[in-house]
Amino acid sequence: MQEIRFHGRGGQGAVTSAELLAQAAIIEGKYARAFPSFGPERRGAPVTAFCRINDGPIFLRSVIEKPDIVIVLDSSLFRAVNVTEGLKDDGILIVNSANAPSHFTSGRLHKVATIDATRIVLDVLKQPITNTILLGSLLRVADIVSMDSLLSSIRHRFGDKAFRLNMQVIEMAYKEIVIHPEWKQE
């Protein structure tokens, strides 16, 4: 089972990211669950979303405490939340940041990748919603779902016009993601 945790702020699309990823997995015939965790917070407050993907039924309904992958939609959350808490030693960390991956590595974390998602989405989408571009980054570094399944999920959710723009930022993410040099990818 793959367990992915998303950290963002209200309005950035963390919950939508988890749902899009789960839908892409379902399109491929896998089992998936996506769900948020937030209180009565308002727009801009920290939000956590979760996605589990498996080849068989998923019976767990709890938050993900030991994720395989953590995706951070807003790097300012490092000052507010311990986003890497519980991340497995061989886990993957993807951060929306102009900083190099080495800025986020620690003694145990070397599977770190960064993408200046905010810059890209402001140029293309004209709004700071970084969720789909980070999903594109995820596909570059992890074998979770296919690009076709993700794009199908996005088209179904947002329609054709938004699909074209999101496809553009996903392709940019796939090319522009920066991967920590100590990360030995297969």
The string of pLDDT tens digits covering residues 102-132 is: 998 877 778 999 999 999 999 988 888 889 9
In a domain, 186, yes or no: no
Per-residue confidence (pLDDT) for residue 151, from 0 to 100: 93
CATH number for the domain spanning 14: value is 3.40.920.10
Per-residue confidence (pLDDT) for residue 39, from 0 to 100: 60
In a domain, 144, yes or no: yes
Bridge partner list, 9: 46
In a domain, 94, yes or no: yes
Per-residue confidence (pLDDT) for residue 129, from 0 to 100: 86
Output the six-digit token pair for 87.
């991340």
In a domain, 8, yes or no: yes
For 39, the domain range is 2-179
CA dist 163 → 25, 69, 108 (Å): 18, 25, 37
Residue 56's contacts (CB-CB under 8 Å, 6 or more residues apart) are 31
In a domain, 147, yes or no: yes
What global pTM score does this model have? 0.93
Q: How many domains does the chain fold into?
A: 1
Per-residue confidence (pLDDT) for residue 162, from 0 to 100: 82
In a domain, 184, yes or no: no
In a domain, 185, yes or no: no
List helix spans (H) across 35-176: 117-124, 131-141, 147-176
Output the six-digit token pair for 171.
């392709």
Per-residue confidence (pLDDT) for residue 44, from 0 to 100: 75
- pLDDT per residue of the chain (186 residues) written in tens, 0 to 9: 999 999 999 888 899 999 999 999 999 999 999 999 866 556 678 899 999 999 999 998 899 999 999 999 999 999 989 999 999 989 999 999 999 999 988 777 789 999 999 999 999 888 888 899 999 999 999 999 999 999 999 999 988 878 888 889 998 998 899 998 878 665
